[in-house]
Amino acid sequence: LVAGAPTAKPIILRNLAAPRYFGAAANTTFLFNDKNYTEVISTQVAVKWENIEPEPNGFDFGPADEIVRFAESVGAQMRGHNFMWGNQLPPWVNTSLTATELDKALENHITAIMDHYRGKIYAWDVINEMISDNTPNETFKDNIWTQKFGEEAMPKALAYARAVDKQPKLYINDYGIESINSKSDTLYDVVSGFLADGVPIDAIGFQCHFTLGQIPTDLEANLQRFAALGLDVAVTELDINLRGPANATALAQQARDYWSVVHACVNTRRCVSVSVWGVSDDHSWIPNGEVLPWDAEKQPKPAFYAIADAF
């Protein structure tokens, strides 16, 4: 079908994606003035600690509630992002607490948020970006969580999450783990250990912030080796950075790159979703990056049609 041709039916990615989900990271600022939010329909809600619990036990659910209400109004599934991360922490968490106090704060944070959204969020990124970039010399990133809890940090968060609510799928989410490499090998070993020890973990999120023409050729093999552990896998933060002008050649390559990523997910039985990190290029966290499937005027780019084709 040709977009805009009089007889063309609208291309709805969520319908094409079924039984998988296709979605986008949502932002309340853009929620009510972007028609693509109804097309790009499985929504990811960011509940970062500094925003949702800026003061001890002082929760601000307002913005995330708006996104959840929107998602419900359009029948979208929601994944939540995130509980344990070294970034975007309020000062009260990132300084001065003893290990015991931090432990209580973590349990309270996870419990309050998961209670609040019980029944509304099917997947939580319990863990975000905890694996070191200096593997195999170092396993975990150096941050407040590993400083206070060492290798117990991730199991603690996962166990608190499972204790609150058995329903949502519990994810470990990271970047740089999309190919078979030292970092993903380290994660594979950590997760294998968790499974052997009964640490609750259901799924791995692969962020997939990629650069043009550099989609790992072993992405699918890598997704499949994690799936073979009995885990779900998901593409959670996909975007493809042109790192240059958005001419026709670059946009065609970007479309092929989006196609390969979605294709790798579709070929992996346990791959449950593909989420892009934003909707249109004016929303991206990468300034002037032209990294997403819709352009700044909310028009579908070649990447959009490639995604539709790959599903």
Which residues are catalytically annotated? Answer: 237
Interface map 106-135 toward ligand XIL (x if CB under 6 A)? ----------------------x-------
Interface with ligand XIL: number of residues (CB under 6 A): 4
> At closest approach, how far in Å is the CB of 285 from ligand XIL?
3
Could you tell me the smallest distance in angstroms from the CB atom of residue 200 to ligand XIL? 21
Amino acid in position 167: Q
Q: 175 or 311: whose CB is closer to ligand XIL?
A: 175
Q: Between residues 81 and 148, which has the closer beta carbon with respect to ligand XIL?
A: 81
Residue closest to ligand XIL (Cβ): 285
Report the alpha-carbon distance of residue 303 to residue 292 in Å, rounded: 8
Shortest Å distance, C-beta 189 to ligand XIL? 22
* Shortest distance, position 128 Cβ to ligand XIL, whole Å: 5
> Which is it for the CA torsion 75, 77, 81, 83, positive or negative?
positive
Report the site for ligand XIL in 199-238 (rule: CB under 6 A). Answer: 207, 237
Q: Which is nearer to ligand XIL, 36 or 207 (CB)?
A: 207
Per CB under 6 A, contacts with ligand XIL among 63-92 are: none
If one asks whether residue 288 binds ligand XIL (CB under 6 A), the answer comes out as: no
CA distance 296 to 278: 11
How far apart, in Å, do the first and last CA atoms of the chain sit? Answer: 15
Closer to ligand XIL by CB, 215 or 276: give it: 276
Paired strand residues for 128: 173
Residue number with CB closer to ligand XIL (77 or 284): 284
Q: How far is the CB of 17 from ligand XIL (least distance, A)?
A: 21
Would you tell me which residues interact with ligand XIL (CB under 6 A)?
Answer: 128, 207, 237, 285
